Amino acid sequence: MGWFRIASYSRALLYATPAEHSTYPLPVRTMTVPATDPTGVGDIVVWDSQSLTVRKAVNVRLGGQTVARLLLVA
């Protein structure tokens, strides 16, 4: 369970190179999940009956502590 958002090209480039991004089906989305969520790169998530592949997974930190995870999915 997480919060989905369509990622602009510039936002997606915070996590992926232009070459990587060019291989992703559009639109690319970000998904914010709890810090304890075990979803990782290569996993499949289902949103609105669409199967999306996790392309990148980044820990979101605040004060040195992981407070959430951001997944780049396409």
Please list the pLDDT of the chain residue by residue as tens digits (74 residues): 788 999 999 999 999 999 999 999 999 999 999 999 999 999 999 988 999 999 999 999 999 999 999 999 99
Pairs from 58-66 (Cβ < 8 Å, separation ≥ 24): 58/15, 59/35, 60/32, 60/35, 66/35
Q: ∠ CA 21-44-10 to the nearest 5 degrees? A: 25
Q: What is the pLDDT of residue 3?
A: 87
- What's the confidence (pLDDT) of residue 2? 80
- Domain residue extents for the chain: 3-73
Nearest to 73 by CA among 11, 9, 7: 7
pLDDT in the model for residue 47: 87
